[in-house]
Structure 1
Amino acid sequence: MKTDQDALNRMIGELARNSQAFAATTAADRRDMVVELLKTVAAVTDDWVASGCRAKGAPSPIVAAEEIINGPAVTFRFLQLTRAALDDLAHGQKPRLPAAVITDEQGRVKVPILPAKGLFDPLNFLGFRAYARMLPEVTTENLMGYRAPQFAVEPQPGITLVLGAGNVSSIPLIDVLSKLFHEGQVVLLKVNPVNEYLGPIFERALAPLMARGFVRIAYGGGDVGASAINHPDISSVHITGSAESHDMIVWGPPGEERERRKRENSPLLRKPITSELGNVSPWIVVPGKYSARQLAFQAENIAASITNNVSFNCVATKLIVTNRDWPDRDRFLDLVDHFLRDTPRRKAYYPGAVERYRRFAGDRAATSECDEETLPWTL
């Protein structure tokens, strides 16, 4: 499935004609759109989960549950939070926070993010709290000016190109919704070839926005993405992908010319770009006295964070940081290894995964049972 140049131009033209209309919508208008989306997303949930299981070779109930959580569930959470914030704005209030703003020991403002009120957060994030640590110039006095700024200034219409993620199924959809409802931009989504099966499902999920001309969805590889990036009516770009894909867009192909551009801070792309890129995510283990039950619980937690979505996830744990003098260090790592070995193998569905495993695992790969379908969990 590929969107040709004429169709791509038509899509961008339709978005350009409707960008001003979306920028002029009120908080109440957007809230009402979100209410519609809650219904249309619900209508595609079964197909969404089933398609993900088929594509990832994962028919088991455990993996189906993972697809539910990584796809529709987090999308519903995003929509519910967005609806609540827009409803506050529609009634002349600032979006309410889940708890009080605090200031840390360094004087930095910390804004509570979760658990949110009115959802299942206290159950889903049992024992967890999360804060956004603000930049030094943000104070408790001026914090309010940083919330929902698109409604505080003259709206700036524009088209954002979202280059969709190929791994976690909710990411492309939430990226689209974030650009629309948080930043006031209409969106062209180019789905990733790895999960282009999601495209028709997203078209149905986003039907209220598609009908109004606020979203369009394109298909294809890097050539389609490049054509969209360079289209004069595309005002900004968002990518979820690899650092190499980002650098290809921003700095150009590898070589001396790219290195020169980097040295001179002269990017090839002159449009704003935001990115969520691949990462070696660490899990830091604080040494201390833990019971056998506590050690097992946390070891299973880490193993689950490694195996989630077959570890094709920028927030999957890739590095475990421990204190070498911690008496329980070896015991703990043995527990992590035990839970990994106890986890059924999954299809390594992302292109190039088998080759990368063999390259990085070295001798372990030579002695492991790996094929073109599955790979062993390796610590």
Structure 2
Amino acid sequence: MEVTAAVDRVDPERWRATPPAERLRLLRLVRANIDRHFDELTSADCRAKGIDPADPADAHQVGTSIQRVLVPMAANVSAAIDLYEGLVRDRPLQPLAVTPAGDGRFDVRVSPRGKDRLLNSDRTDLLRVVGEPRRVDPYAKPGGIVAVLGAGNVASSFEMIRALFVDSCVVVHKPHHLNEDADRVWEKVLQPLVDVHAASFCPAAEGPALTRDPRLSKIYFTGGTASAKAIMEATDTELVSECGGNNPCVVVPGDRPWTEREIRHQALQIATIVTISGGSICGRTQTLVTSRHWPQRRQFLDAITVALRDLTPGSSTGYPGVDKTFEAFRDAYPGGRLIQPVDDRPASQVMVIEDVGTQGFALDHEAFCQVMSEVALDVAPDAGTFLPAAAEFANENLLGTLAATILIDEDTKKAHAATVDRAVTDLRYGAIGVNTMPPMIWTNPYLIWGGNEEGREFVSGRGNFGNLLGYENAEKSIVVSGFTSPGHLLMTNKRDWLDLSTRFARYAVRPTWPRLSALALAATRGLFRRAGRPDASRRGRRATT
């Protein structure tokens, strides 16, 4: 459907007048359709990424496809169902707690809730708002027409659910050309919304025409900074955008030595987030920030090398243009080490650049591929001194404001609680993970996802997505979990990763007790396997670095 017809088809006034019970009925139909087209969506995403679902060597990448294409939309639909069930009963969803955070800010605890509390019992999900927390009901919003421009790395435009059910807007969706196959499946999934003139679709090539249509109220965009700037230059329509950046992971020296188990766990968590999807995800950690004087720094960096080389299956880098980016980093840092994962997967090398200094190419550029650098600050290895310095360094020297991580052991976090709280406040990022990685925030519809650069140069975008409860003045998302939480993403076995991903996605689609039990069983099996022998598909082989 060409752009004019696609915009003609949607009816914003009809959608605003659609009562909660009818919207809830439509959401349940969409949920059933996601279940029905689960395998078809996975196959479409695998084709786009060059992954063979029938090849055991690709099992982990199939699992990543499932998490990438299904979980974001499924989680948003399920949360929207909870929201509208509350509206229908005249008992709106409420925050779990609201606490002052200082400086005129408040932390609104939004999740986990329901059955998710059993999965994430050690996690706290907070929405930081500026000023007194104020919510706007979906039916109090003006509505309008939103163009949702799909991302190239993820074929799951969950921003459509935000526009439709949180902002009460109708949607015209344009896929990225890399994901047109998956988008055709999503059209079938969302057909109930098409039937009531709440959603329509147009071809990937129609992007420029769509963004210039004067009937649009907003444009939702996920992609590169240059593309976002080009859209803003071509139209006066408000652009809500998420554009990535160079995301730091601040490794806080402990008041006590980390155990070997703790070091291995954190190394695996970092190796997983650095390599998943071949590095082509916006929230991935790119830069480790350490203390040069931390006695365990060498041990920690060596553990990451082992995790990348011997313990984490290789993931191919295939996003267009990242091969050139990878070479640009190699040219800038000829001394950087190339680590080949032990399964010898093509295009899976990881470049690790230690001690890159406090200025330069590695800090000023987003990799979006399997490159990881380390900045060793010349700062004392104690939390009270190091953490404020690391936060200031990240704010002033790294590209973008999308996401940051703080890794700190439980004893040190407890002893320096005020310092940690201050760092979370001071870090000018839209998503802060304390002992967890930012993609856990991206998939949570109760939180927000986007840059935090009010009044700064445009890099990571403007505005945000998510915010299911409709809070005004949301500044950032904060997720705090246990230091070695069983809920962390640790990819160490191909088949286990596929099994866990499948069961997690099925649970996200329909969070029932049987599906929760199946997910818990898969997670437990993975924990036991990590504690035992290595993956048999990789045992006995080595790779050069």
TM-score, normalisation: structure 2? 0.59
The aligned residue for residue 228 of structure 1 is 210
The aligned residue for residue 146 of structure 1 is 135
Mapped to 2, the partners of 1:232 and 1:317 lie a distance apart of 38
Mapped to 1, the partners of 2:278 and 2:117 lie a distance apart of 25
How much has 1:282 moved relative to structure 2? 1.2
Q: How does 1:39-118 map to 2 (within 5 A)?
A: 39-58=32-51, 59=53, 60-97=58-95, 99-115=96-112, 117-118=113-114
Mapped to 1, the partners of 2:111 and 2:303 lie a distance apart of 29
SS at match of 2:204: coil
Residue 128 (structure 2) aligned to one of 116, 123, 133: 133
Decide whether the 8 Å contact of 1:168 with 1:309 is kept in 2. Answer: no
CA deviation map 1:8-41 (0-9, x unaligned) = 21111111xx211001112222222111111011
If each structure's strand is expressed as a fraction of its own residues, which one has the higher value?
2
Mapped to 2, the partners of 1:367 and 1:293 lie a distance apart of 25
Q: How does 1:237-252 map to 2 (within 5 A)?
A: 237-251=219-233
Give the 3 Å change call, closer, same or farther, for CA 367–96 of structure 1 in structure 2. Answer: closer
What percent of counterpart residues are identical? 25
Unaligned runs of 5+ in 2: 341-345, 353-545
The aligned residue for residue 530 of structure 2 is none
CA deviation map 1:302-323 (0-9, x unaligned) = 1111112211111011111112
Mapped to 2, the partners of 1:122 and 1:311 lie a distance apart of 30
Mapped to 1, the partners of 2:118 and 2:302 lie a distance apart of 31
If each structure's helix is expressed as a fraction of its own residues, which one has the higher value?
1
Mapped to 2, the partners of 1:331 and 1:75 lie a distance apart of 40
SS at match of 1:315: coil
Larger RCO: 1 or 2 (CA < 8 Å, sep 6+): 2
Mapped to 2, the partners of 1:88 and 1:107 lie a distance apart of 30
The aligned residue for residue 327 of structure 1 is 295
Mapped to 1, the partners of 2:338 and 2:143 lie a distance apart of 57
Mapped to 2, the partners of 1:299 and 1:61 lie a distance apart of 22
Mapped to 2, the partners of 1:66 and 1:55 lie a distance apart of 13
How much has 1:122 moved relative to structure 2? 3.7
Give the 3 Å change call, closer, same or farther, for CA 333–213 of structure 1 in structure 2. Answer: same
Mapped to 2, the partners of 1:102 and 1:184 lie a distance apart of 29
Name the amino acid aligned to 2:195.
Answer: A
SS at match of 1:188: strand
Aligned: 1:119 with 2:105: no
SS at match of 1:95: coil
Give the 3 Å change call, closer, same or farther, for CA 121–377 of structure 1 in structure 2. Answer: farther
Aligned: 1:164 with 2:130: no
Give the 3 Å change call, closer, same or farther, for CA 147–122 of structure 1 in structure 2. Answer: farther
The aligned residue for residue 204 of structure 1 is 188
Mapped to 2, the partners of 1:350 and 1:364 lie a distance apart of 25
Name the amino acid aligned to 2:214.
Answer: P
Decide whether the 8 Å contact of 2:146 with 2:219 is kept in 1. Answer: yes
Unaligned runs of 5+ in 1: 252-267
The aligned residue for residue 422 of structure 2 is none
Mapped to 2, the partners of 1:292 and 1:107 lie a distance apart of 41
Aligned residue-pair number: 340
Decide whether the 8 Å contact of 2:108 with 2:127 is kept in 1. Answer: yes
SS at match of 1:336: helix
Name the amino acid aligned to 1:220.
Answer: A
Name the amino acid aligned to 1:175.
Answer: E
Mapped to 1, the partners of 2:227 and 2:182 lie a distance apart of 21
How much has 1:365 moved relative to structure 2? 8.0
How much has 1:90 moved relative to structure 2? 1.9
How much has 1:105 moved relative to structure 2? 4.1
The aligned residue for residue 358 of structure 1 is 327
Mapped to 2, the partners of 1:118 and 1:203 lie a distance apart of 30
The aligned residue for residue 239 of structure 2 is 273
Name the amino acid aligned to 1:109.
Answer: F
Decide whether the 8 Å contact of 1:358 with 1:365 is kept in 2. Answer: no
Following TM superposition, the consecutive aligned residue runs of length 4 or more in structure 1 with deviations greater than 6 angstroms are 365-369
Residue 194 (structure 1) aligned to one of 178, 189, 194: 178
The aligned residue for residue 180 of structure 1 is 164
Mapped to 2, the partners of 1:308 and 1:341 lie a distance apart of 14
Name the amino acid aligned to 2:279.
Answer: S
The aligned residue for residue 348 of structure 1 is 317
SS at match of 1:84: helix
Name the amino acid aligned to 2:66.
Answer: I
Residue 376 (structure 1) aligned to one of 349, 352, 360: 349
Mapped to 1, the partners of 2:348 and 2:62 lie a distance apart of 20
CA deviation map 1:50-86 (0-9, x unaligned) = 2222322334222222222223233222211111111
